Structure formats: structure tokens, C-alpha cells
Amino acid sequence: MVGVSKPTYYEILGVHRFANGETIRRAYRELSKRYHPDTTTLPIPIAQEKFHQINTAYTVLISPQQRAAYDQQLWQSILPSTPTLQQIQQMYSAYLDPTDRPLSAGELFALFLLGFTFVGCLFLVLALGLARSGGMGAL
């Protein structure tokens, strides 16, 4: 028989791993109203346990330091080794591939200058070549 794994704090609150603080707060408020021992129709021991899980998950996920430590612990249980800083940055990136992103305005400007310089150099080489060969008449 396969053991049932313990739900993550993200699963307890019903939020995505990359949820922001406001999303976590909203989920916590909704769940705490639903499962508070004084307001739920569930038996008191079940409601208390569920409410305790919700509070613990919220406390950890709303704190940036505790959340980072929890995420690292969570990844260590999933991955065979600790992820590198680059792997963590890629996990939190909005793009799946670091090269799959739009160019910034600065990068576009740099490419424009590079292209302009390249074309200018070509014209300079042509002008020098023509001047050394005696002009257009030598062709």
C-alpha cells in the first residue's frame, strides 16, 4: 500500500507555488472563515486540526524568510540535491527559457548602435578601397 503524502502549505491554502502575498492573504481569510472551530459545522477536533494547518501554512508562506526556507526544504525533498542559485532563479522566472524573453529597450538600442557601426565600417572600407585604387575610373 502506498502511503499518502502530507500536503504542502501551498496545497493547504489552495494557492500556486508562485502566489503573491495578497493571493495568500485572500486564501487564508476565506479558509479561516470556513474552518474556524466557532463557525464551522465540522466536528470540533477536525475543525481545530484543519484550522491549525491553515494558520501554520499562512504563517510560513506570508513571511519571505520562512517561505524561502520552506521552499528550499520542499525542493530538497523533491530533488536529489539542493538546487543552485541559478536553478532557483529559473524556477521563479516568468519565462521558461532564459533566452525566451523580449529584448529590453537598452538591448534594442545597443543592437541598433552595433548595426549602425557595422554599416558605417563597411562604407568606410569601400571609400578607402576606392580612394586607394584611384577612384571610380579605375573600375
pLDDT band at 13 (very low <50, low <70, confident <90, very high): very high
- pLDDT, tens digit, for every residue of 33-68? 888 888 888 888 888 999 999 999 999 999 999 999
Question: Which pLDDT value is given to residue 30?
Answer: 92
The domain segmentation of the chain, as residue ranges, is: 102-139
Model confidence pLDDT, tens digit, residues 88-98: 666 665 555 55
Out of 10-14, 46-50, 95-99, 113-117, which region has the weakest mean confidence (pLDDT)? 95-99
The 3-class SS string of the chain reads CCCCCCCCHHHHHCCCCCCCHHHHHHHHHHHHHHHCCCCCCCCHHHHHHHHHHHHHHHHHHHCHHHHHHHHHHHHHHHCCCCCCHHHHHHHCCCCCCCCCCCCCHHHHHHHHHHHHHHHHHHHHHHHHHHHHCCCHHHC
